[in-house]
Amino acid sequence: MAIIGSDINEAKRILIEGGLVAIPTETVYGLAGNGLDESSLSKIFKVKNRPTFNPLILHLGRMDQVKELALETPTPLLNLMEHFWPGPLTVLLKKSTIVPYLVTAGSEKVALRMPNHPLSLQLLKSLEFPLAAPSANPFTYISPTLPEHVEKMLGDKIEYILDGGPCSAGLESTIVGMDEGKVKIYRYGALSVEDIQSIIKSEVLLPKESDSIQAPGQLKLHYAPHTPTLLFSRDTLLIKEFQNRHIGIINFAEAYPGPSQLEQRILSESRNLKEAAAKLYQIMHEMDQMGLDLILIERLPDTDLGKTMNDRLERASSK
Ligand code: TXA
Ligand code: MG
């Protein structure tokens, strides 16, 4: 079983020897390995059971690493990096020759991010290489936001989990790149469209369903619990339809008026989308352990981080 601890030197030793370590970030826990070493990269795909057509994000701790890993940085993306790094922003840039095609799934573009978590930043700054790190969950399952989630899902496959406590944002990073001269959001994430638009004053393109293959995080079934999951709207849900079944409900701000045997959770009584985001995956993990017949999750307001959460919930319920 993996050891959960906060020893950066131990994490560093394992990574230098080509092993994998789960690392905390402000978004979700990542499954990290040497991003320039093919054998470490292969281990990541194997442990996650992830198909190699799905590329990996490289995490770095120093701005000067961008020049080593990317051939150019278009001004709008540089502005975003300067503003939001370290933070939940991933940028797609033309890769340099040192980046293996295994990282990019054959693409000429590489995804780079400087995460904002003190432990991981310290670890990244002390390493000579970037860390490839997908979310530390089996392919298509919910991302982990606690070290215990990683232990439960991957504990028998990795040596060490660096314990950084609960992830503060609780949703994956926002992925941006250039598309025909414009900034495009490829995956909704912990930075909202409004956050990106506050720096980029011109038009910002949004992800499209039809992007799916080359687009990040856009696989239809993704972020999904094992328990059947449905997205609902308060005005149309008829709980009577689900009589005699053991149901869990994840509400935005208030409990659903219904029979008391329903398992209910509330994301944010004050309707705060940041608070809801920080709790969402944690509650989904918890409810998925309860042996329920069905999990119902309330659709969130379609603004700000509500957009990101609705995007994830649509994928989680697409089985
Ligand atoms: O917040 C996050 O981004 C977390 C933490 C650990 O940093 N990582 C994460 O990684 O969510 P992952 O692998 O679960 O999701 C990354 C997404 C994938 O859907 C992948 O398709 C996309 O990023 N991606 C990575 N490299 C890409 C590339 N070169 N071109 C297009 N999409 C890319
Ligand atoms: Mg993932």
In the prediction, which pLDDT does 319 show?
Answer: 66
In the prediction, which pLDDT does 222 show?
Answer: 80
Return the residue whose CA atom lies nearest to atom 21 of ligand 1.
216
In the prediction, which pLDDT does 12 show?
Answer: 98
What CA–CA distance (Å, rounded) separates 147 from 318? 27
At residue 39 the predicted structure's pLDDT band, cuts being 50, 70 and 90, is: very high
Return the residue whose CA atom lies nearest to atom 29 of ligand 1.
110
pTM above 0.85, yes or no: yes
Calculated CA dihedral for residues 38, 42, 44, 45, nearest 10 degrees: 140
Q: 91-113: per-residue pLDDT in tens?
A: 999 999 999 999 999 999 999 99
At residue 166 the predicted structure's pLDDT band, cuts being 50, 70 and 90, is: very high
Calculated CA dihedral for residues 302, 307, 313, 314, nearest 10 degrees: 80
Q: Which residues line ligand 1 (CB under 6 A)?
A: 25, 27-28, 30, 54-57, 88, 90, 92, 104, 107, 109-111, 113, 115, 133-135, 172-173, 175, 216-217
Q: C-alpha 36: how far from its chain's center?
A: 21
Q: 171-194: per-residue pLDDT in tens?
A: 999 999 999 999 999 999 999 999
Q: Are 216 and 175 in contact (CB under 8 A)?
A: yes
Statement: residue 276 has pLDDT above 80: yes
Q: 233-262: per-residue pLDDT in tens?
A: 988 877 777 777 899 999 999 998 877 778
In the prediction, which pLDDT does 221 show?
Answer: 75
In the prediction, which pLDDT does 307 show?
Answer: 97
Mean pLDDT of 214-219: 56
In the prediction, which pLDDT does 210 show?
Answer: 65
Residue-averaged pLDDT of the chain: 94
Residue among 71, 94, 172 whose CB has most ligand 1 atoms within 8 A, to mutate: 172
At residue 285 the predicted structure's pLDDT band, cuts being 50, 70 and 90, is: very high
In the prediction, which pLDDT does 318 show?
Answer: 79
Give exposure, 164-178, as e/b (b: 16+ Cβ within 10 Å).
Answer: beebbbbbbbbbbbb
Q: Are 185 and 203 in contact (CB under 8 A)?
A: no
In the prediction, which pLDDT does 235 show?
Answer: 81
In the prediction, which pLDDT does 216 show?
Answer: 52
3-state secondary structure of 197: helix
Q: pLDDT above 90 covers what percent of the chain?
A: 87
In the prediction, which pLDDT does 211 show?
Answer: 63
Q: Could you tell me the distance, in angstroms and rounded to a whole number, from the CA of residue 205 to the centre of ligand 1? A: 18
Statement: residue 45 has pLDDT above 60: yes
